[in-house]
Structure 1
Amino acid sequence: MIALNAAVMLGVLLHKITLPPFVPYIHLLVDYHFGFTKRALIGATVSVFAPKVPVWLVFALGAAIWLVTLGLFVVLFRRTFSLGERQMPLFVFMVGSPFFFKNFMHTLGHFDIYGCAFAIVLLLIPARSILFVAAAAAASLILILIHQIHFLMYVPTIAALVVLRYYLVRSVSRPDVIAGIAAVAAVGVLFLVVQVHGSMTVPEDQFISHLRERMADPSQTRLLTFGYIWYQGLGREIRDTWTRMPSNLLGVPVFALLIWLHAPLQRYFAALIRSLSDDMHRRAAVAAIIAVSVGYLVIFAVVFDYSRWISNWAVCMFLLLHAVKTLPAALVEPVAAYGRRNTVFGWIVTLIPRVGIVRPF
């Protein structure tokens, strides 16, 4: 299954590089030339090293962060569960899930994977001091500057990791409380600033002209089609989403089926929560799942890239599972390798190449 998953991921990559990277390419062109701008941190960073941006950089940068994230996750899985034969079915259901690295490959160039990478780093580093809270806050601020959607997409998961790994396992002091409140306030204020003051104030033709100057090949002007995004307010995004809602809801049964195919993983997660030694830890784990899920429900009501959101929600559940596993608990048997149902589900999950961006597949 692992070998087949690797082949599928390679196939997704080969298909992806044949497609024009409309939105990802613009993200590498937009910088802070006209002042503070939403979704501009990565582009501004790229501008320091590459005044002229070639199209291939979208795939090179996307593939690099994909490989880094995959490596970090393998290290995390090995630390949390080990990588022995008994843990391989669990590993396959996560790494081979169409929600996870296969879909990150399909969305190569989009910024979702940065949230996942930061969350994995926070699961790997020690959570022994208030510096962990500061690191989580810094990661959240960077993610919002990369793309404000992270405020609901990965910041709630990062907050849950802080609670599960830091606040829940120690006697909370006054500095801990102050640090938590300051972190939440800083993240909230930055999100409001980006949302209110991050749109372009110069005429659109002037903005597009600047983007064209940063292109290594100015003849690729069709890749600037989505420049209007930096002029689009929240109200417009919500109206567009609800206009598409009837057709997007047709994909819900497919998403439900994909989630059901991960039933062995769900049963393991539920058993892990039930096995926690402390009742407060169990309640906190359930609350974390609910809080992250509510954030995604809000995203569903605002932005219409449903396949991306459901995939990232599943990834957040995988990350929360790792955090819960670190809490004191009774021994829980991993996903069984040779049960017929588990084997069938494992092969189906392996064969599904990805979920998509807007609609399923």
Structure 2
Amino acid sequence: MTVRILQNPWRLLLAVNAVVIVGVFVHKIQLPPYVPYIHLLVDYHFGFIKRALIGAVVALFTAKVPVWLVFALGGATWLATSALYARLFQNTFGFTARTLPLFVFTAGSLLFVATAALFSIILVLIHHIHLLMYVPTIVTIVVIRHYLAHGCNRTNIAFGAIALVAVSALFLAAQFLGTMPIPEADFVGYLKTRMADPSRTDLLQFAYIWYQPLAKEISDTWGRLPHNILGVPVFALLIWLHTPLWRFFASLIGALASDLHKRLVIAALIGISLAYLVMFAMVFDYSRWISNWAVCMFLILHAVKMLPAARETELIPAEDRKTNISGLVITLIPRVGIVRPF
């Protein structure tokens, strides 16, 4: 029995992943929710400002924001995201014994473009850095799933260009016009009126981020660089552990029937990665950027799988010893962290 599990451990690894997720959530509950909580307090009371969409939505339902709402919203988001990704994986590859290794490693109209633009706008209103973090991936998926699948004409090209300009303009407005128009003391005073427990002033210590200019963020990032750069070998190791997945991805691209599709996908991957390099130079949440970059790669993989292929791509082998070891190590790593590894 033990030998059989070691030879094909993927069902066990999925169970371990589930336990790890629960453990990380319990760990998070015990930490003070400094940044997430204040984002639930900030709204558009003083006009258009950056990072205020979530707080504005919360304000529609409650005048006082309890701390537990951070964990309720976070937990619900985790569950919804997990369910949606499971559905995406099922639609793309299906759930069988042969596709389990791949799942562990990754744990046709204008309406499609309009929906993508709407989600991009929402992401930018939540946090303007999402323009670099997720919007390039959304654009890539739209190109693959809509323009390459249904063809290009003047109407859909113009619609896509207008949507892209609108999202970019919103980013510029949030970045350069979205600072708080009142003194920080008055801002903090208003946030206290929205707190269920105004005595928890420790949860307002990050109010300064609504006043911090881009130049200061870049300066802080470069000031921390000598220390944070020490985590790069760990990031490289984590990426290397996903080698079976990257090989499968490369084979998937190589199997595409159209050379144009291959070139566009490769160019998109380079563009998305360059956007993350820009984030590395601007904001120091390096561990988070690595994780989000990997998520973007996984999403592009699913989009590429939907393109016409000249041949079938072999899945990640389920009984390869090196692959099993990589999957086991990845599964046992509970979290990557936000700024520094783990």
State the SS of the aligned residue for 2:206: helix
> Using the alignment, how far apart are the partners of 1:230 and 1:170 within structure 2?
42
Name the aligned partner's letter for residue 345 of structure 1: S
How many residues are matched? 329
Question: How big is each residue's C-alpha offset from its partner over 1:193-242, in whole Å with a ceiling of 9 and x where there is no partner?
Answer: 11111110101000000001100011111010000000001011000000
Matched, 1:318 2:330: no
Matched, 1:49 2:61: yes
Name the aligned partner's letter for residue 42 of structure 1: I
After TM superposition, give the deviation of residue 169 of structure 1 in Å. 2.2
Determine the structure 2 residue equivalent to 1:111: none
Question: How big is each residue's C-alpha offset from its partner over 1:93-123, in whole Å with a ceiling of 9 and x where there is no partner?
Answer: 111xxxxxxxxxxxxxxxxxxxxxxxxxxxx
1:191-340 correspondence runs (5 A): 191-329=171-309, 330-340=311-321
For 1:70, which of 66, 75, 82 is the aligned residue? 82
Question: How big is each residue's C-alpha offset from its partner over 1:122-153, in whole Å with a ceiling of 9 and x where there is no partner?
Answer: xxxxxx11111111111111110011010000
> Using the alignment, how far apart are the partners of 2:42 and 2:235 within structure 1?
33
For 2:72, which of 57, 60, 70 is the aligned residue? 60
Determine the structure 2 residue equivalent to 1:31: 43
Determine the structure 2 residue equivalent to 1:106: none
> Using the alignment, how far apart are the partners of 1:312 and 1:65 within structure 2?
15
State the SS of the aligned residue for 1:331: coil
After TM superposition, give the deviation of residue 243 of structure 1 in Å. 0.3
State the SS of the aligned residue for 2:205: helix
Name the aligned partner's letter for residue 298 of structure 1: V
Matched, 1:131 2:143: no
Moved beyond 2 Å, runs of 4+: none
After TM superposition, give the deviation of residue 171 of structure 1 in Å. 2.8
State the SS of the aligned residue for 2:60: helix
> Using the alignment, how far apart are the partners of 1:90 and 1:358 within structure 2?
28
**Sequence identity percentage:** 61
After TM superposition, give the deviation of residue 170 of structure 1 in Å. 2.8
Matched, 1:352 2:305: no
Name the aligned partner's letter for residue 186 of structure 1: A
Determine the structure 2 residue equivalent to 1:150: 130
> Using the alignment, how far apart are the partners of 1:252 and 1:153 within structure 2?
19
Name the aligned partner's letter for residue 57 of structure 2: T
> Using the alignment, how far apart are the partners of 1:240 and 1:351 within structure 2?
33
Matched, 1:5 2:52: no
Name the aligned partner's letter for residue 129 of structure 1: S
> Using the alignment, how far apart are the partners of 1:17 and 1:170 within structure 2?
46
> Using the alignment, how far apart are the partners of 2:229 and 2:74 within structure 1?
29
TM-score (norm 1): 0.90
Flag structure 2 segments of 5+ consecutive residues without an equivalent: 1-12
